[in-house]
Chains A and B, each alone.
Chain A
Amino acid sequence: MSSPEPRARIGLPLLATEIAVLFRRKRTWAMLLALAAVPVLVGVAIRIASGPDSGRAPSFLSQVAGNGLFVGIAALVLTIPLFLPLTVGVVAGDTIAGEAAQGTLRYLLVAPAGRARLLVVKFIGAAVFCFAAPLVVAAAGTLTGLALFPVGPVTLLSGDQVGVGEGLLRLLLLALYTGVSMLGLTAVGLFVSTLTDVPVGAMAATVVLAVTSQVLDQLPQLEAIHPFLLSDSWLGLVDLLRQPPEWSTFGGNALLQLGYVVVFGALAYGRFTTRDVLA
């Protein structure tokens, strides 16, 4: 009882187990596999059809047959509106509500994980998934492209051509951009997750918010609020396919996402540190 108090650890062991557990779950692998299936399907469909280009840019689908490196780019653009937010919503919505439903929340808190520390660890864990998911899409796209199509220098939106190596680097940048794009949604999901003990409800609400944001972004009458919408710059990733890359889009999006992280992180903190844990 009177032994000197050992020094407390910041929470790295907890973060390490959080990430390990996330990637040990079958559900996580199922979602990543489903995401990886998108570029495979795109590649196979185009390979089989291989009809004349419809010429409708910038879905990049038309370029796929000519250059396999575009499979990854096209798949990212295809998954950003729904599939990615769906999986991110599942992970972020599950953070706190999932623990509550499982009965582990009370034991984590009694351990004691510390409420603020647990929130931070949960956010970082979900953020890791935000980056893992687009990277999986990009990787699966690249592999599909290499297997099914010729690969060569990439023609950027600005008309410049870059080599295969630089093309792959750009694809990696697109994936990172997409990961950053999902951070705001993750914070929203974390907050929603502190409101309920029903994980499915939190997941659904988060996904609905992501879709709502995109719908609002389509209404010209609401143009005034467009720059502040969560999803406003999601498709801005294509600006990285210019020469030189349009970094201001990247910076603007990062700032917007940071804003969402701060606001919804604060809301989650306010809610979670004061609520009664009855689950």
Chain B
Amino acid sequence: MSAGLAVETDGLGKRFRGRDAVTDLALAVPAGSVFGFLGPNGSGKTTTIRMLLGLVSPTSGSARLLDAPMPDRAAAVLPRVGALVEGPGFAGYLSGAANLARLDSADPLADPRTRRRRIGEALDRVGLSAAAGKRVKAYSLGMKQRLGIANALLRPRDLLVLDEPTNGLDPQGTREVRTLVRGLADDGATVFVSSHLLAEIEQMCTHAAVMRAGRLVAQGTLDELRGPSADDRLHLSTPDPEAAIAALAGAGLEPSRAGAEVVAPLRGRAVEDLVPVLVAAGVRVRGVRMAETSLEERFVALTGEGFDVES
């Protein structure tokens, strides 16, 4: 059953001092996907990531990374995994390049002969070449974040685990990270991105999972998560709202007025079939649009709260 999965967990759980941080987690991250790991702060995302990477041992269940059990096979698997975990961590008294060299030397499979070139390329990829020789102490939060991403890119990776990669970045930097993530996926890597920001996940991911209070409440492709299109609605702008309501009701819908518009749940009907009905009834149509259920509505329904709220 693990075929084609880059990350797979089975009943994964972690208890800290009698409190469940993660409970019975069954993640399935398809290889090659850009997988969004979404949930409010404190919903267990980082604990899960720490378990996947072998930093924290699970109190129940098991995890597999790139088809190998963790943490037993960590030495063989982790060189193929690039990670950014809970923000960047670097020695402030060393330069950005020296910090990367240090972490690269900790990887027993990294080739010291190509180290300098790989560090240069990774720094270039995140736009830090100019600051490579500067002490990290003098870096801004955004620069440290980029350096953290550069560390994850020191070698070609099969899996990237990026915990809140756009944290601390300005809008420009956020856009760059998004482009970078898509580029990595195009190169064939699986990207596992956690975030508490829905918009971010919606813009870069193909799949997503939603956490709430340590439990998985949904996972699948973004389309699957959006749910049935039966919830889509027709929004009609017209100077003849009464006539429009009558016509739509005649077509079997339940229209209502919403401000200047007439709104009706589509219930599987196509908008293009309804416009002729309106025109035939003499309704002057100014504008028609279809509103899909947004992920946001869906996720707020799943998590029962907004995404910036502590659970």
Q: Which A residues form the contact surface with B (CB < 8 A)?
A: 1, 5-6, 8-11, 13-14, 16-17, 21, 24-26, 102-114, 117-118, 274, 276-278
Contacts and interface: CB of A to CB of B under 8 A. Distances in A.
Given A104-B89, A277-B50, A278-B56, A13 B105 contact: yes
A109 B103 contact: no
A197 B53 CA distance: 19
Contact of A8 (B75, B94, B103): B75
Given A104-B91, A112-B106, A114-B75, 19 more contacts: A5-B109, A8-B108, A11-B108, A13-B105, A17-B102, A21-B91, A21-B102, A24-B94, A102-B89, A102-B92, A106-B53, A106-B89, A111-B103, A111-B104, A111-B107, A112-B54, A112-B108, A114-B74, A276-B57
B91 A102 contact: yes
15 contacts: A5-B76, A6-B111, A13-B105, A21-B98, A102-B90, A102-B91, A104-B90, A107-B103, A110-B53, A110-B54, A110-B85, A112-B78, A118-B106, A274-B57, A278-B50
Interface of B: 50, 53-57, 74-76, 78-81, 83, 85-94, 98-99, 101-109, 111-112, 151, 158
Given A106-B86, A278-B56, A26 B105 contact: no
Contacts of B56: 276-278
Given A16-B105, A102-B89, A110 B75 contact: no
A25 B93 contact: yes
A17 B54 CA distance: 24
Contacts of B55: 106, 109-110, 276-278
A104 B98 CA distance: 13
A14 B101 CA distance: 10
A1 B106 contact: no
A26 B111 contact: no
B55 to A, nearest CB: 4
Chain A residues touching B, majority SS? loop
A114 B74 CA distance: 8
Contact of A110 (B57, B83, B92, B109): B83
A111 B106 contact: yes
Contact of A103 (B74, B81, B89, B108): B89
Nearest to A6: B109
B152 to A, nearest CB: 9
A111 B158 CA distance: 14
A276 B15 CA distance: 12
Contacts of B98: 21
A14 B105 CA distance: 5
A117 B91 CA distance: 20
A27 to B, nearest CB: 9
A112 B107 CA distance: 5
B106 A21 contact: no
Nearest to B154: A111
A109 B89 CA distance: 12
A152 B264 CA distance: 106
A14 B106 contact: yes
Contacts of A112: 54, 74-75, 78-79, 106-108
Nearest to B107: A111
Contacts of A21: 91, 94, 98, 102
B202 to A, nearest CB: 28
A24 B91 CA distance: 12
B62 to A, nearest CB: 17
Given A24-B94, A102-B91, A278-B56, A110 B78 contact: yes
